[in-house]
Structure 1
Amino acid sequence: MAQPVWANGDAYEAYVGRWSRLVAADFLRGLAVPPGRHWLDAGSGTGALTSAILTTTDPVRVTGIDPSAGFVAVARTRVTDPRAAFQVGDARALPLPDRVADVVVSGLTLNFVPEPERAVAEFTRVVRPAGVVAAYVWDYAEGMAMMRHFWAAAAQLDPASIERDEGRRTTVGQPDTLHALWEQAGLREVSVRPVDVPTTFTDFADYWTPFLGGQGSAPGYVATLAETDRAALRELLATRLPVEPDGSIRLTARAWAVRGTRPA
């Protein structure tokens, strides 16, 4: 099974990046980290979480690491605060020394990391004693309404498409799994909570167009379709989505946020 493509930062931003910013703000409020800390953003993407850290937590420094050179390039353009620095790297083998960061966070990344337990072990390695390790992931199986509508329509037209559905393929999108990952890494005081945000589309085009950008599993699937099949999927979705009288489409998205601390 082909892996989702994550390379075009602008296309990602239109697809789910804009909603991730809402989750990031809620996530950081829940952490309540004091100012003046060194943060590591593992899987920093286009810089949504790093931007939120800079504007809400008054850090001394934020290091963003992401495997996509395209995303890193976009983050460097969009986040110009001198306290932030981005580099290409793998969450399973962070290019950092032991105990270098006060806080390690990861936003919407662990769903797509092979061997996520290795990534969480790395988060624990690079955080200082008594430091915070936290992350959030989309609830693709149930809570991400924009994708649940998409995959339900896709499966109606093409039953084989269910093999691409993130809700079936991701392994760390549920609270019990996240809690176990954090405890297995030796982290303490582990807690998991839901983060629900609105995802309001101005009209059907605002919903559909990002699926043409090729970033992620659903857009990647759309890119494989012949024009007639793509049009059929589009028309079916237009009949299934809950459209308000003003033409807007008001959905919700849920992420799960996990937090733990490294023993002192």
Structure 2
Amino acid sequence: MAHSVWADGKAYEAYVGRWSRPVAGEFLRWLAVPPGRRWLDVGCGTGALTSTVLALGDPRHVSGVDSSPGFVAYARAAVRDERAAFQVGDARALPLPDRCVDVVVSGLAVNFVPEPARAVAEFARVVRPGGVAAAYVWDYAGGMALLRHFWAAAALLDPAVAERDEGRRFAVCDPDSLHGMWTDAGLTAVALRPVDVPMVFADVDDYWTPFLGGQGPAPSYVASLPAPQRARLRDLLAARLPVAPDGSIRLTARAWAVRGAAPA
């Protein structure tokens, strides 16, 4: 079975990192955190959410933590702001003391933690009383059209590929599971909302090329295929995607956002 690879920040940005930014903006407007707070971005990846916090949240400081040294290096180079700092760390054992930040956020990362409930418990541990712990994840099973088209085509060529589909693998990416993890961690006033963003591709190549970067489950699967099978998958997608008369492809991506408060 092909495994996800998280090392190449540039390839990840071309794949789904760029789509995280519009979700991040809606997410932060929903949180409505006052200025001057200390933030922690868990699973910071290439810095998409951190940079949005810096632009919209007027933070005192943002700490970014990610398990991938490659992503941390990319974030350090991409986010040039003295209010931000990045380090390698495990979401299940955050390298921070208890009750040290006002806001904990995580974008498109909780489902990739081997024990996501432990990560959420860590969010609750490091946030100060009255602070906010929040995250967003893709709705892989229903609302992430980019991947729904990909895996549907892949399964036509290889029915065994269904086990790789994020819609099956990431059961935590639904409202009930997210609500349960936040509640079990002792967070209160738990609330959820969907965030829908458009994904517009110039043409089939613009849709397909990011899958060649090897970052994430679907690109890792593509990388595992021999060249002829890879070409067959690309051709099948080209025939099945909703291509407009001008050649563009217009899809929608849905994320689920969740927030909770640390007990005072």
Secondary structure at 1:11 match in 2:
helix
Aligned to 2:152: 152
Query: 1:75 maps to what in 2?
Result: 75
The one-letter amino acid paired with 2:220 is G
Q: How does 1:4-83 map to 2 (within 5 A)?
A: 4-83=4-83
1:179 aligns with 2:179: yes
Alignment pair present for 1:209 and 2:209 = yes
Match of residue 197 from structure 2: 197
Q: Which residue of 2 aligns with 1:251?
A: 251
Equivalenced residues, count: 264
Match of 1:222 in 2: 222
**Secondary structure of 2:131's aligned partner:** strand
CA RMSD of aligned residues (A): 0.6
Counterparts of 2:18 and 2:69 in 1: how far apart (Å)?
20
Q: Structure 2 CA distance, aligned partners of 1:89 and 1:178?
A: 22
Amino acid of the structure 2 residue aligned with 1:185 = A
CA positional deviation for 1:162: 0.8
Q: Distance in 1 between matches of 2:248 and 2:65?
A: 36
**CA distance, structure 2, for counterparts of residue 114 and residue 3 of structure 1:** 13
Q: Which amino acid aligns with 1:223?
A: A
What are the ranges of 5 or more consecutive residues in structure 2 without an aligned counterpart? none
Cα distance in 1 for residues equivalent to 2:162 and 2:211? 16
Cα offset for 1:209?
A: 0.2
In the TM superposition, what whole-angstrom CA distance separates every residue of 1:178-202 from its partner, at most 9, and x where no partner exists? 0000000000000011000000001
With the length of structure 2 as denominator, give the TM-score of the two structures: 0.99
Structure 1 counterpart SS, 2:5 = coil
Structure 1 residues 82-105: Cα deviation after superposition (integer angstroms, max 9, x where no partner): 000000000000000000000000
- Structure 1 residues 228 and 3: alpha-carbon distance in aligned structure 2, compared to 1, 3 A threshold: closer
Partners of 1:172 and 1:198 lie apart in 2 by 23
Give me the whole-angstrom Cα distance separating, in 1, the residues matched to 2:64 and 2:154. Answer: 35
Instruction: Map residues 98-177 of structure 1 onto 2, 5 A cutoff.
Output: 98-177=98-177
1:163 Cα offset (Å): 1.0
Give the partner amino acid of 1:87.
Answer: Q
Return the letter of the residue paired with 1:24: A
One-letter code of the match for 1:12?
Y
Looking at structure 2, the residues matched to 260 and 74 of structure 1 have their Cα atoms a distance apart, in angstroms, of 30
Q: Alignment partner of 1:198: what SS?
A: strand
The letter for the 2-side match of 1:150 is F
Is the counterpart of residue 97 in structure 1 residue 90 in structure 2? no
Distance in 2, Cα, partners of 1:219 & 1:102: 36
Equivalent-residue separation in structure 2 for 1:249 and 1:171 (angstroms): 28
CA–CA distance in structure 2, aligned partners of residues 145 and 171 of structure 1:
17
**1:239 matched residue in structure 2:** 239
8 Å Cα contact 2:12/2:215 also seen in 1: yes
> Unpaired segments of 5 or more residues in structure 1?
none
1:3 to partner: Cα distance: 3.3
Aligned counterparts of 2:3 and 2:228: Cα–Cα separation in 1: 24
Distance in 1, matches of 2:67 and 2:234, equals 32
1:2 Cα deviation from its structure 2 partner: 4.5
Shift of the alpha carbon at 1:249?
0.3
- The runs of at least 4 aligned residues of structure 1 exceeding 6 Å deviation read none
Identity %: 73
- Counterpart AA for 1:79: V
1:246: Cα distance to partner?
Answer: 1.1
Whether contact under 8 Å (2:2, 2:220) holds in the other structure is: no
Letter in 2 for 1:217: P
